[in-house]
Amino acid sequence: MAITIKTPEEIEKMRVAGKLASDVLMMIGEHVKKGVTTDELNTICHNYIVDVQDSIPAPLNYGHPPFPKSICTSVNHVICHGIPGDKKLKDGDIVNIDVTVIKDGFHGDTSKMFVVGKPSILAERLIRITQECLYKAIKIVKPGIKLGDIGHVIQHHAEGNNYSVVREYCGHGIGAVFHEDPQVVHYGRPNTGDELQAGMCLTIEPMINAGKRYSKVLPDQWTVVTKDRSLSAQWEHTLLVTDSGVEILTHRGEENIPQIISH
Ligand code: MF3
Ligand code: CO
Ligand code: CO
């Protein structure tokens, strides 16, 4: 599959889908607290996406075997693709909620870390450094840079802080298809790989471990955990490459990075 360049009409639909996905993360925050189950969070998000946003939760029935829920909830040592279930969140847990909505045929994909009660200093630092990895990568995005430049910025910041970068899962092109070309890996060497062009939409979604980088998939065939059971964090945005830089399609008002960056 080739990399798609979006038309102005498609870009407008990506803006709408991106905003809806970010709205779900804004909405769910107040519900992420001690005693709630991740399945309850799933139900709240599912109903909001379907009933309020008149949209489709992309994860539901996605892939093989079909993903059984509408969001991913990845707690503590779960790297990604955690399946919402009946375990209650407890004080000190960290949880990534990953939301993908389809509106008018286009996808918006974004995730955020939440903390339950008071997290450990280590957890707080891992979450912060991982968000910095995402932001540092976003800030270099413009036509002419290469995918390896993105990977390098993330790997350099993570490893410079004694963390490791998960290699088996990556960001991706996105549009009418959930996971399009190119693959956006979160490690690499400057000036290598495909060049970015205006009109491309892609996600950057670094998964950073406090311990070693190795992962394994649980028997449910979805849940990805750290092999050494160390904590893992992830943040994700859907981006549009513009003529002069980047637009964060899933930007939340609360964030300390501008939605539109022009170089
Ligand atoms: N939202 C994930 C991503 O960022 C993909 C989840 S696929 C699912 O690409 F089936 F697990 F939902
Ligand atoms: Co994604
Ligand atoms: Co996602």
State the chain's mean pLDDT as an integer: 98
Question: Is the CB–ligand 1 distance for residue 63 below 6 Å?
Answer: yes
In this predicted structure, the answer to whether residue 236 has a pLDDT above a threshold of 80 is yes
Residues in the chain: 263
Q: How far is CA 220 from CA 21, 38, 81, 212, in A?
A: 26, 16, 11, 23
172 belongs to an annotated ligand binding site: yes
Can you tell me the mean pLDDT for 25-37? 98
Q: What is the pTM of this model?
A: 0.99
DSSP codes, 93-121: -EEEEEEEEEETTEEEEEEEEEE-SS--H
HSE-CB at 138 with a 13 A cutoff on CA atoms is 29
In tens, the pLDDT along 137-163 reads 999 999 999 999 999 999 999 999 999
10 belongs to an annotated ligand binding site: no
Question: Is the CB–ligand 1 distance for residue 109 below 6 Å?
Answer: yes
In tens, the pLDDT along 159-183 reads 999 999 999 999 999 999 999 999 9
pLDDT of residue 2: 87
pLDDT of residue 152: 99
Question: Is the CB–ligand 1 distance for residue 206 below 6 Å?
Answer: no
pLDDT of residue 1: 73
Please, are residues 57 and 47 in contact by the beta-carbon 8 Å criterion? no
pLDDT band at 107 (very low <50, low <70, confident <90, very high): very high
pLDDT band at 73 (very low <50, low <70, confident <90, very high): very high
**For residue 68, what are its two tokens?**
């059984």
pLDDT of residue 189: 98
